[in-house]
Amino acid sequence: MEFAKQEYEFLSEIGLSPETPGCFVNGKWKAHGPTVSSINPVNNQKIATVVEASLEDYEEGMKACSEASKIWMELPAPKRGEVVRQIGDALREKLHHLGRLLSIEMGKILPEGIGEVQEVIDMCDFAVGLSRQLNGSVIPSERPNHMMLETWNPLGVVGVITAFNFPCAVLGWNACIALVCGNCVVWKGAPTTPLITIAITKLVSEVFERNKLPGAIFTSFCGGAEIGQAIAKDPRISLVSFTGSTKVGLMVQQTVHQRFGKCLLELSGNNAIIIMDDADIKLAVRSVLFAAVGTAGQRCTTCRRLLIHESIYQTVLDQLVDVYKQVKIGDPLEKGTLLGPLHTPESRKNFEKGIENIKSQACSIFLHCIGPILGGKILTGGSVIESEGNFVQPTIVEISPTADIVKEELFAPVLYVMKFQTFEEAVKINNSVPQGLSSSIFTRSPENIFKWLGPHGSDTGIVNVNIPTNGAEIGGAFGGEKATGGGREAGRSTAILHPQQNIYAMLYNSQEGSGQGLAMF
């Protein structure tokens, strides 16, 4: 069977077909759940058909994965690292095909699609080095002739539930480290990006097969909420990493904690950029454009709020509106496109609802004696683009920081702008929302920089200076505070989440007493 369009024929080179089972369980491809279509958001037409997992498929996969964990955890960490190195090489060989698929299925522009797959490759390289650095420590004992040791042992099985906006990068942040730490991985990809889930799994499974290791070490499911709930409830899964909305993340956390499992959450963001009166305006405007429009505003690190010092407010705003009007909107595969479509028709409807809510909050308010500010005034954009796809205009809205809608995350290219008078006021506005993922300040002042980075500065997990809110390097732990969930992915520090910490105390002379001044019986 051939793909409906010739432009999709390259998918056969990464193991995909027009009709594909969406579960890799016990080393085999099978599925007995509902049939769904992968849709191209450019035209809302079918790319391919995928059969999702049933609960019976899930149970079969989990049994095999649990058994495989006994083998995988016994393999020395450097040898596990070698397998992960080979996974990176397999992805590297198909980098451009995978990046193209990601752009077609998710809707992000091609450089972003390729860049996301490259991030998984980089995580493989990072994890390989980590596999030789999973060191313990020797701790001085307060008791004579005693020794204490700290070591790290595998958890067993780690569940990874990823979202549509980064359908493979988030897997890499978690799975690469989980694997070198000796854990098997159960992956549930986003329901609307099943093809990238299948393509990545096929390459990973081939590596395990070449190394004569059980395919169940890396088990994956295409499916919806039913499979996600099964993962959250399953006591065989020691750690669940979930990426998605705050609402669903809270439910996942409660379910996992009810069984005393570990939970790693990467949830909503509502990120602000502050432009001080001494900022490099040209640099700031360019950065805001990238942060607010990139990935069609569908990154958790997208800039959603722009705070501009009153003395340069109009200058910055005029330049920003001008560059917004120059943004090329169109097919993400076309060279020069900066803004592709939203991911689904539902996303487009949410954009329309958001714009209506913004308009409904329009009113003249008096803020901090600066003068009347119009809440909910659309300066540019604000409309959907009539087409077969899910295209919308990049939008700038002048609004009060106290408006209710500013506290919410509208997952679209909508930027709220507001003015401030002092550094302290800007920080207060930055910290006033429930979410706490990323933030940035543009300034040349060392005093403001160090205040911003200090305990009375930004309350986000990622704090930037003179760079956009979006984008992060794999060497640093990624995550945020408050309603963003408190989880951390990638980075060296994440290695303490995926293994189990053990403390061993031993007496090597039976004639010695116990601690705390007590005699041994």
Catalytically active residues are 266, 300
Question: Residue 293, by phi and psi: left (phi above 0), alpha (psi -120 to 50) or beta?
Answer: alpha
* Residue 466 burial (CB count, 10 A): 15
Cα 305-310-311 angle, rounded to 5 deg: 135
Question: Rounded to the nearest 5°, which phi and psi values hold at 111?
Answer: -60, -35
Tokens 């911003």 correspond to 452
CB 302 within 8 A of CB 470: yes
CB 464 within 8 A of CB 442: no
Q: What residues contact 462, with CB distance under 8 A and at least 6 apart?
A: 301, 437, 438, 439, 469, 472, 478, 479, 480
End-to-end CA distance of the chain: 77
Instruction: Map residue 149 onto helix, strand or coil.
Output: strand
Residue 97 and residue 22: Cα distance in Å, rounded?
19
What is the H or E stretch that residue 423 is in?
Answer: helix 423-430
Instruction: Map residue 39 onto helix, strand or coil.
Output: strand
Nearest Cα to 269, choosing from 492, 425, 459, 465? 459
Nearest Cα to 107, choosing from 296, 292, 245? 296
Tokens 């849709």 correspond to 39
